């Protein structure tokens, strides 16, 4: 007798992976309000002067949408299809026009030198190749365009938290849709080839992923 998986053509790994992405979308939708209590004011300041074409990579369920000016041309590139319904509902609630596209951070569905600002919040931790992602961001930005980022990062080398991040990383990547708690994101940013980078560190008071950076990189 054929199983449902055989009839549908999906392997167990695909079934589990699909469930993981669905669960992660639900978890993001439920937890975004909690995170915004921690980082909301920083987001409001970071996004205050956005204008023109704004491309957000990995917008998830849309927690950043309330912070955007209403007159921007917002483009979102989100690979997890299970987040799209949450994001669209958020946009309708805010009466915000959106251009939601399927894709990933290594290959951005946008023309070269066409975007005024790229936004990433809690995304660079989970991309498979952060260097490819940053090169894609530089490619689509207009000359002088800005990359705004808010990311959790690795704790200092040798610290107890860093040791914990390193040990928990394999399971954390599974439950966190590819998230690396011990990624040294600031090093990749500094080596990517932006004309300037300004960022600051802060402690988000969260388990495992408390070290954060927030800043602006200019093409």
- Walk me through the domains of the chain, giving residue ranges and CATH numbers: 12-218 (3.40.50.150)
**CA 3 → CA 16, 40, 140, 170, distances in Å?**
16, 47, 45, 31
Tokens describing residue 204: 């988000």
At 33 the pLDDT is: 62
Q: What is the pLDDT of residue 22?
A: 53
Sites in the chain below the pLDDT cut of 50: 1-17, 19-20, 23, 25-26, 29-30
Residue 4 is predicted with a pLDDT of: 35
Q: What is the pLDDT of residue 60?
A: 87
Task: Provide the edge-to-edge strand list for the sheet that holds 73-77.
Answer: 98-101, 73-77, 53-57, 115-121, 141-152, 211-218, 196-203
Contacts of 94 (CB under 8 A, 6+ apart): 65, 66
> The tokens of 124 are what?
């660079």
Residue 74 pairs with which residues in a beta bridge? 54, 98
Helix (H) or strand (E) holding 56, with range, is: strand 53-57
pLDDT at 45: 95
* Predicted pLDDT of residue 150: 97
What DSSP element (H or E) covers 162? helix 160-175
pLDDT score for 8? 36
């Amino acid at each position: 007798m054929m199983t449902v998986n055989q009839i549908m053509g999906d392997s167990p790994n695909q079934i589990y992976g699909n469930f993981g992405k669905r669960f992660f979308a639900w978890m993001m939708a439920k937890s975004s309000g909690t995170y915004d209590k921690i980082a909301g004011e920083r987001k409001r300041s970071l996004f205050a002067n956005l204008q023109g074409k704004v491309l957000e990579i990995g917008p998830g369920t849309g927690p950043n949408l309330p912070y955007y000016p209403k007159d921007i041309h917002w483009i979102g590139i989100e690979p997890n299809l299970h987040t799209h319904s949450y994001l669209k509902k958020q946009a309708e609630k805010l009466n915000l026009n959106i251009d939601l596209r399927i894709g990933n951070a290594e290959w951005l569905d946008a023309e070269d030198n066409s975007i005024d600002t790229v936004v990433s919040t809690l995304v660079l931790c989970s991309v498979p190749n952060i260097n490819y992602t940053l090169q894609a961001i530089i490619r689509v930005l207009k000359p002088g365009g800005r990359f705004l980022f808010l990311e959790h990062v690795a704790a200092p080398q040798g610290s107890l938290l860093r040791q914990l991040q390193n040990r928990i990383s394999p399971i954390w990547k599974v439950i966190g849709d590819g998230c690396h708690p011990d990624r040294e994101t600031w090093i990749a940013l500094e080596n990517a080839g932006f004309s300037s980078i300004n960022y600051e560190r802060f402690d988000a008071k969260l388990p495992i992923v408390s070290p954060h950076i927030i800043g602006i990189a200019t093409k």
